[in-house]
Structure 1
């Protein structure tokens, strides 16, 4: 039997917490709630990290951005930010500091469930994209990727760090399809479970963050090259360890 996913909802609005608790429970998830950062940290200290965190941006005390950064210092647990419907800045900042996705309020509960499932599919909890065919490690350029731990190691400097769920999903997409032009819809479907929205900047932020991780920020990109008007292509040689 598949383990039940545990979702922690952090929102200071009692009605929203109650609504999400009931709807997510009905959808088959184990749900915990917290009204602010203090309550969130208290929950994490007692129960550990859940499968996924739904984190509101506007909170009393430490806001959602600060809490996201605090969580990211210790865990790569998937985080979906709940943002203001018209504030693109909130969405971009959330992605830049390590959130896996965002959804604007007010939202359709079915849309939220779809976003949750998409994020969980690319995490350890529901890793379905590669199944048993997922290589144990992948090498490209100076980098060695441990696909089980999501750990990335620079083989020249020994620098290492863990990738967030969304960064890992994006890198795995490129590594599984090297020398192939991937358009924005393909990237969005693979990392967010949906096509890219018109004028959406989230993909640009995510690509920029991954390039920064790889030290690929120069004018001549070594790994991920931009094909203007078409998409992006991963050009470095890739080898797999099974």
Structure 2
């Protein structure tokens, strides 16, 4: 029996679900296959939670986008979305709903495997938000980033800002490389790995969403994430160690 991370495949095409389950099991994962949101809800209620969900967008009944939004609002597992929609706006929408990554259909299983491993690697390797090797906290303006807990707080008393795994990874790039212009390619490589599409512009959406969440929390740090025209982005402020 495999003892690797547990992956749930939510896909209503039985052939795709079966083939993908066999492939991932061959790569050492424990796999559960489901055909829709109702089965997923029952599984999550029964517990324990899986490490990652591979979620098809175009499901019968409640679609994958709605399921993704519900899971993210509830602080659910990591999510990689499968979508036959290949327009940028559709990819953007999936990320805005809280997906940690996406793969377009038709897909090579090896590409999906690489995306799954990259998302798990950005966590603790088993679906939980990871602790960095350096346990220090970094402070910029009124924002405190706890690298060990992968948490972000602001204000006094401190209030935690709910970020997705992808949003935290992006913020981590900025606070560990302050006052440097970071290109979109660099940010994609650091946050999604080299499997990201060559012309992928979703990093712009991720930055916009991160700014919005920081701003909505009342943090002044949102204004410090500056766009550098034709170059990328910069955290235009020094970062201090400690809280």
User: How many Å separate the matches in 2 of 1:196 and 1:225?
Assistant: 23
The alignment covers a number of residue pairs equal to: 236
TM-score by length of 1: 0.88
Secondary structure of residue in 2 paired with 1:139? strand
Aligned residue in 2 for 1:181: 181
Shift of 1:194: 1.9
Matches within 5 A, 1:228-239: 228-239=229-240
8 Å contact from structure 2 (residues 131, 149) kept in 1:
no
Q: Which moved further from structure 2: 193-202 or 59-68?
A: 193-202
Q: Are residue 121 (structure 1) and residue 121 (structure 2) matched?
A: yes
8 Å contact from structure 1 (residues 175, 234) kept in 2:
yes
8 Å contact from structure 2 (residues 111, 195) kept in 1:
no
Structure 1 gap ranges (5+) = none
User: How many Å separate the matches in 2 of 1:195 and 1:179?
Assistant: 27
User: How many Å separate the matches in 1 of 2:195 and 2:180?
Assistant: 18
User: How many Å separate the matches in 1 of 2:15 and 2:203?
Assistant: 32
8 Å contact from structure 1 (residues 76, 163) kept in 2:
no
TM-score by length of 2: 0.88
User: How many Å separate the matches in 2 of 1:40 and 1:226?
Assistant: 40
Secondary structure of residue in 2 paired with 1:197? coil
Aligned residue in 2 for 1:222: 223
Q: Are residue 153 (structure 1) and residue 150 (structure 2) matched?
A: no
Shift of 1:195: 6.4
210 and 31 in structure 1: CA distance in 2 versus 1, 3 angstrom threshold? same
Q: Per-residue displacement from partner, 1:70-115 (whole Å, max 9, x unpaired)?
A: 1112225211110115333321111011111110001011111111
Structure 2 gap ranges (5+) = none
Secondary structure of residue in 1 paired with 2:145? strand
196 and 52 in structure 1: CA distance in 2 versus 1, 3 angstrom threshold? closer
Q: Per-residue displacement from partner, 1:159-188 (whole Å, max 9, x unpaired)?
A: 323321111111111111111111111111
Matches within 5 A, 1:16-165: 16-125=16-125, 131-132=132-133, 134-156=134-156, 158-165=158-165
User: How many Å separate the matches in 1 of 2:153 and 2:50?
Assistant: 26
User: How many Å separate the matches in 1 of 2:166 and 2:236?
Assistant: 21
User: How many Å separate the matches in 1 of 2:51 and 2:131?
Assistant: 20
User: How many Å separate the matches in 2 of 1:233 and 1:155?
Assistant: 23
Q: Which moved further from structure 2: 73-82 or 114-123?
A: 73-82
Aligned residue in 2 for 1:202: 202
8 Å contact from structure 1 (residues 142, 156) kept in 2:
no
